[in-house]
């Protein structure tokens, strides 16, 4: 190497109980080279401060928001993220229960009918939800400046019901209690996963994308004319598909644009296309595998399949978002989706999504779902099998929440940050660089190795000759075991507190260029520095 290119070295510690903490190491080893690029790489893209956002199952929305006052725990954990980026996460309210929701002026908030829980689905969605005006006005308990996506019932094919819901939603967001806080309705979503309607009884078995475009246009035009959408900042969100054929025949962005969905009256107010994506499924109770979820190769294979969809959407001038996503569909896999390993997955999954041109990812959450980032209220039965808990479990965060925290701190408060993936020729290590004012300021390094494999991995980072950095600070996402469900820390601090606010003291380490820093398996690091 050139003498002027001084490396900072990161050594992944061998997997033993004693060495699983980040430590300075002076031993030499073989390394995977990583070259930091300055100015930004050609493939660098802007990443939104609210890139990591939440999708919330609609049936129990008021458990998240609160009714007569805010749910303070949920408010606090959202504010933690806003404090790091300057912008609150986006909130999407909808999903499966979106197409089982009806409106009744006589209902104050919501009345739900739930099926009985079972070991595979301990917290099932409601099969019928009836809401009133106050249900939508609870958005006033969100953080100021939150942008919201709200879904209306398309599945039951009742235009009158959809118009009534949309009207109540718009009235709520135009009222001073919400609008004075800068909380806005960014998108109306018409229906959830219509590409599955032929399988769940909401449409005939021969339902196709041509029929979908015709029906969606009919609904959207009627809603547009009723609520005067052109006088607001609200726009329509197209798609919300469970998957994609990525061609002109099935359900895909290519197909709906080719069929002219954006040429209608309401279609002119489409601003984004939403895809839903899960790494796998637990709908039939089949076991998920944690090492598969954490796999760098699997994450890339699962997301890169949408490259043509992203391009087709961007070609129309629209944003492409993952409007609902998480690990395993049907609320997650026990012992996988609720573990520390899922935090490693979620961090890499989110950041890799950004490098592909995806504008936001909405991690799906519901009350008692296994893959939640947040459990916002007290639970009385197990999220794993539905069995009664020996003691009520108060509101708490789950490991994936730390992925949101690390990503938010990496994005920072600059407002126009660029991200690019670091080229790393190692199947267990991924990394990303973050640029402010075309200056590389932060790196995120992720070790995908599960902490039940006795592997040691090392990387060597080369800064550009003219970087001249001497002030390097490293923070660690520390995880004891991949299958832990608690006990994680970020820079020595914990969010596993009664109120959801950060606890403990920062233990970020200032590192000299000639020092080695261990990054153990199933952990991640944020490296901040100043190039001059």
Reply yes or no on whether the pLDDT at 531 is more than 80: no
Q: Which of 380, 411, 442 finishes a domain?
A: 411
380 plus 472 within the same structural domain:
no
Range with top average pLDDT, 11-15, 226-230, 372-376: 372-376
379 plus 436 within the same structural domain:
no
Reply yes or no on whether the pLDDT at 286 is more than 80: no
Query: Would residue 202 count as lying in a domain?
Result: yes
For residue 25, the model assigns a pLDDT of 33
For residue 244, the model assigns a pLDDT of 94
387 plus 436 within the same structural domain:
no
Q: Is the four-CA dihedral 195, 196, 202, 203 of positive or negative sign?
A: positive
For residue 503, the model assigns a pLDDT of 95
CATH code for position 469: 2.60.40.1180
SS3 state of residue 227:
helix
Q: Which of 370, 392, 411 finishes a domain?
A: 411
Query: Would residue 169 count as lying in a domain?
Result: yes
35 plus 108 within the same structural domain:
no
Helices (H) and strands (E) in the chain, counts: 13, 28
Mean of the per-residue pLDDT values for the chain? 89
For residue 12, the model assigns a pLDDT of 35
Q: What is the mean pLDDT of residues 22-29?
A: 38
Q: What distance in Å separates the CA atoms of residue 414 and residue 19, rounded to the nearest whole number?
A: 36
Query: Would residue 40 count as lying in a domain?
Result: yes
For residue 510, the model assigns a pLDDT of 75
Query: Would residue 84 count as lying in a domain?
Result: yes
Query: Would residue 1 count as lying in a domain?
Result: no
Give the tens place of pLDDT for each residue, 423-463: 888 899 999 999 998 888 999 999 998 875 444 455 566 67
Q: What is the mean pLDDT of residues 402-419?
A: 96
* DSSP output for 448-473: ---TTS----EEEEE--TTT----EE
Higher confidence at residue 199 or residue 43? 199
Dihedrals phi, psi of 283, to nearest 5 degrees: -65, -30
60 plus 12 within the same structural domain:
no
Reply yes or no on whether the pLDDT at 78 is more than 60: yes
For residue 511, the model assigns a pLDDT of 67
For residue 455, the model assigns a pLDDT of 46
Reply yes or no on whether the pLDDT at 363 is more than 90: yes
CATH code for position 340: 3.20.20.80
Give the tens place of pLDDT for each residue, 87-141: 999 999 999 999 999 999 999 999 999 999 999 999 999 999 999 999 999 999 9
436 plus 385 within the same structural domain:
no
Q: Which of 411, 434, 458 finishes a domain?
A: 411
Q: What is the mean pLDDT of residues 405-432?
A: 94
Query: Would residue 244 count as lying in a domain?
Result: yes
Q: What is the mean pLDDT of residues 155-161?
A: 96
307 plus 205 within the same structural domain:
yes
Higher confidence at residue 150 or residue 229? 150
365 plus 446 within the same structural domain:
no
78 plus 22 within the same structural domain:
no
Q: Residue 429's closest CA among 507, 347, 485, 357?
A: 347
Reply yes or no on whether the pLDDT at 298 is more than 50: yes
Query: Would residue 157 count as lying in a domain?
Result: yes
Partners of residue 32 on adjacent β-strands: 459
406 plus 475 within the same structural domain:
no
Q: Residue 274's closest CA among 169, 361, 212?
A: 361
Reply yes or no on whether the pLDDT at 277 is more than 80: yes
Reply yes or no on whether the pLDDT at 6 is more than 50: no
29 plus 176 within the same structural domain:
no
- Percent of the chain whose pLDDT exceeds 70: 88
For residue 43, the model assigns a pLDDT of 86
Q: What is the mean pLDDT of residues 151-173?
A: 97
472 plus 354 within the same structural domain:
no
Query: Would residue 165 count as lying in a domain?
Result: yes
Residue numbers of the domain that contains 129: 49-411
Report the number of distinct structural domains present in the chain: 2
Contact 36, 464 (CB under 8 A): yes
């Amino acid at each position: 190497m050139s003498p002027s290119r001084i490396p900072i070295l990161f050594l992944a510690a061998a997997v033993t109980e004693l060495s699983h903490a980040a430590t300075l190491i002076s031993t030499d080893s073989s390394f995977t080279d990583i070259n930091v690029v300055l100015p930004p790489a050609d493939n660098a893209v802007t990443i939104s401060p609210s890139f990591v956002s939440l999708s919330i199952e609609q049936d129990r929305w008021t458990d998240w928001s609160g009714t007569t006052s805010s749910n303070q725990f949920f408010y606090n954990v959202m504010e933690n993220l806003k404090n790091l980026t300057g912008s609150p996460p986006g909130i999407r309210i909808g999903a499966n229960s979106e197409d089982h929701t009806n409106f009744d002026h006589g209902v104050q908030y919501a009345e739900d009918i739930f099926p009985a829980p079972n070991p595979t689905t301990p917290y099932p969605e409601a099969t019928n939800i009836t809401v009133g005006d106050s249900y939508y006005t609870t958005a006033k308990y969100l953080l100021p400046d939150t942008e919201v996506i709200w879904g209306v019932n398309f599945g039951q094919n009742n235009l009158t019901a959809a118009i009534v819901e949309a009207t109540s939603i718009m009235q709520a967001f135009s009222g001073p209690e919400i609008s004075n806080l800068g909380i806005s309705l960014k998108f109306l979503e018409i229906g959830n996963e219509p590409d599955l309607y032929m399988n769940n009884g909401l449409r005939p078995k021969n339902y196709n994308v041509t029929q979908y475009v015709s029906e969606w246009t009919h609904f959207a035009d009627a809603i547009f004319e009723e609520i005067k959408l052109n006088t607001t900042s609200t726009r329509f969100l197209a798609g919300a598909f469970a998957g994609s054929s990525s061609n002109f025949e099935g359900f895909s962005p290519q197909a709906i644009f080719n069929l002219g969905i954006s040429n209608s009256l309401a279609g002119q107010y489409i601003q984004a296309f939403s895809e839903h994506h899960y790494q796998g499924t637990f709908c039939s109770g089949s076991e998920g595998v944690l090492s598969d979820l954490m796999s760098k190769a699997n994450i890339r294979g699962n997301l890169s399949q949408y490259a043509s969809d992203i391009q087709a959407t961007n070609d129309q001038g629209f944003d492409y978002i993952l409007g609902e996503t998480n690990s395993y569909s049907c609320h997650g896999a026990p012992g996988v989706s609720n573990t520390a390993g899922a935090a490693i997955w979620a961090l890499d999954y989110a950041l890799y999504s950004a490098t592909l041109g995806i504008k936001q990812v909405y991690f799906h959450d519901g009350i008692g779902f296994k893959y939640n980032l947040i459990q916002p209220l007290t639970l009385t039965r197990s999220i794993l099998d539905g069995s009664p808990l020996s003691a009520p479990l108060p509101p708490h965060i789950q490991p994936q929440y730390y992925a949101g925290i690390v990503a938010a701190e990496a994005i920072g408060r600059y407002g126009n940050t660029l991200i690019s993936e670091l080229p790393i020729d190692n199947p267990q290590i991924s990394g990303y660089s973050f640029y402010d004012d075309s200056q590389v300021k932060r790196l995120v390094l992720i070790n995908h190795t599960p902490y039940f494999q006795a592997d040691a991995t090392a990387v060597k980072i080369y800064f550009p000759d003219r970087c001249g950095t001497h002030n390097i600070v490293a923070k660690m996402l520390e995880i004891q075991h991949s299958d832990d469900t608690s006990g994680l820390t970020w820079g020595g601090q914990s969010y596993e507190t009664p109120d959801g606010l950060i606890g403990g003291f920062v233990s970020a380490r200032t590192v000299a260029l000639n020092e080695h820093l261990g990054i153990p398996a199933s952990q991640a690091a944020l490296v901040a520095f100043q190039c001059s």
